Structure formats: C-alpha cells, structure tokens
C-alpha cells in the first residue's frame, strides 16, 4: 500500500533561518512526488515536483527538495524563511494506475516568527 508520512505536524522557525519539512513515503512503484502549499482559506499551490530526473528539485519561492530513494524521503528545504512562508505544506505521492492516484500527507503547519 502507498502512504505518505509528514514527520512534523507543526514547525516553527525564526525569520531568516532555514526551513526543513520532512516527508517519507511508501510505494511499491516509482512515484512522482510533489510539495504543495496552502495559505489560509486558499487552494493548493504547487511548489515543486519530482519525476525521476534530477534528485534535487528546485521550486518556487526559493524552496527545494531532495529525493533519496534509499531513505524513501523527499524533504523540503529553504535556506532562509520569510514571513510569507507561513502556511500549511503537503507532501504528495502520485502513481500512474488506471487513473492518477494521488495521496496526500497529513500536512505540516509552518509558523515563521519575526
């Protein structure tokens, strides 16, 4: 069975310090992996996507994620947090079955302290 685990339900960082949001997945197949961000009362915005090309993926707003197959991880990082980064972040696995089977992690709430 496929699943996504986000190891921290809440992360708090100071503005200007690094951000690390952790994600582990379980899949019998080679999945595509995504990070989405959701600001309060908004829809989901795609941050970045991994699809078996380069293992280090660069996304929007300075975020990047590294795919590590041996660790089944896809952690999201940013060198310096900004106040506008405060939001809910979802790690997502997508599998090509008879349809695009998409599984969301439970989410990590990021707070940025001024």
Q: Should residue 46 be labelled a site residue for another protein when binding is judged by CB under 8 A?
A: yes
- The least distance separating another protein from the CB of residue 65, rounded to whole angstroms, comes to 15
In whole angstroms, give the CA distance from residue 65 to residue 59. Answer: 8
- Are 91 and 80 in contact by the 8 Å Cβ rule? The answer is no
Burial class of residue 21 in the structure, from the number of CB atoms within 10 Å of its CB (0-12 exposed, 13-18 middle, 19+ buried): buried
State which of residues 14, 26, 42, 68 lies at the interface with another protein (CB under 8 A). 42
Which one, 68 or 96, has the nearer CB to another protein?
Answer: 96
Check residue 98 for interaction with another protein (CB under 8 A): yes
Q: Does 36 bind another protein (CB under 8 A)?
A: yes
């Amino acid at each position: 069975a496929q699943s996504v685990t986000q190891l921290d339900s809440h992360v708090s960082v100071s503005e200007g310090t690094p951000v690390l949001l952790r994600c582990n997945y379980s899949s019998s197949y080679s999945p595509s992996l995504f990070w989405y961000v959701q600001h309060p009362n908004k829809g989901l915005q795609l941050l970045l996507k991994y699809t078996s090309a380069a293992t280090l993926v660069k996304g929007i707003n300075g975020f990047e994620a590294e795919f590590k197959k041996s660790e089944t991880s896809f952690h999201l990082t940013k060198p310096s947090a900004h106040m506008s980064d405060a939001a809910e972040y979802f790690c997502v696995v997508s599998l090509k079955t008879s349809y695009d089977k998409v599984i969301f992690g439970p989410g990590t709430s990021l707070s940025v302290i001024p």
